[in-house]
Amino acid sequence: MSDLRLDATQLDRYSRHVIMDEVGPEGQKRLLEGSVLVVGAGGLGSPAIQYLAAAGVGHLGIVDDDVVERSNLQRQIVHGDDDVGRPKVESAADYVHRLNPDVSVEIYETRLTPENVDELAGGYDVVLDASDNFATRYLLNDYCVLSGTALSHGAIYRFEGQVTTIPNREGSDGPCYRCIFPEAPEPGTVPDCATTGVLGVLPGTVGCIQATEVVKLLLEQGDVLEGRLLLYDAMDMSFETVELQHNPNCPVCGDQPAIDSVGDVSYEHTCTIDAD
C-alpha cells in the first residue's frame, strides 16, 4: 500500500469509518486505493455506485450503453428527470462527482463483449455485476474466474432478488456462477422488468447488499457470500441463504475446465461452449 495520508477533510468525511476497529485509517486508505468496475448503471448499479462512492472507493469504472428513460427513474436513483435522453454513464459519473471529489470515475459507453471485456475490466480489484441479461452475467463470470478477479453478482425479478459473491482468490474452492446455473435459459423464456414490472425499491436493497460485499472484499474483513446464495423476498420481507457447492465438472472452474478463454463461448445464445 502506498503512503496515502488522510487529510483533514477526509478524516472528517470518513470519520465513522476511521473510528471503527475493523476499518480505521488503514482500512479507509485501502478503500481509497481500491478500484471497482460496475457493469450496469440501472436499478442495481445505481445504489451500488452511490454507496461505493460515499464509502470512498477511490476509482470507479461504469459500463453501460443505454440512455436514461423516464421509466427508469422509479428505481435508477443516480439519474434525474433532467437526465432523460443522456447516456447513463454520464449521468452516473456526474452524480459521483457531486457526492465525493475523492473518487475518480472512468466511463465506458459501450456494451460488454468478449472482445472488450479484458480492456474494460482488466486492472480492477472487483467487478460488480449489475447487468440485466444472461449473456453479460456469464461473460463476467468466465472472465473473472479466468483472470482471478473478485465478482459480486446480483439479480432482481418483480419482488425478489439474489446476491452471491465469487472472490476468485488463490486457494478458494467456492462455486462460480456456472456452478450454480450451468446454462442460461433459452432466449425469451425469462421476461424482463419491462414486461413483468419490478418493485422500485427492490434493487435498492439488492444493490446495497452488493456494495456491502464489495467494501468487505476491499477491506478484507468479514465473511462474504462465497458458497452462498442470498435470496430476498420483498413481499414476505424474508431472507434465505442457500448453501452452494463447487461443481467439479464446471466448464470454467472445474477439475478439467473446457473454457480457457471467453472466446470459447457463444454468449449471445445459451452461453455454452462454442462447438468450433
Any idea which residues carry the catalytic annotation?
A: 193
Query: Which among 59, 213, 206, 103 has a CA at the least distance from the CA of 150?
Result: 213
Residue 237, H or E segment: none
For the chain, helix, strand, coil in percent to 5 are: 35, 20, 45
Distance CA 170, CA 247 (A): 17
Query: Which among 37, 29, 41 has a CA at the least distance from the CA of 4?
Result: 29
Residue with grid cell 452516473, as numbered in its chain: 92
Q: Residue 89 has which C-alpha cell?
A: 454513464
Give strand ranges (E) for 23-142: 35-39, 59-63, 104-108, 126-129
For the chain, the straight-line distance linking the first and the last C-alpha, in angstroms and rounded, comes to 44
Query: Which among 109, 62, 67, 61 has a CA at the least distance from the CA of 88?
Result: 67
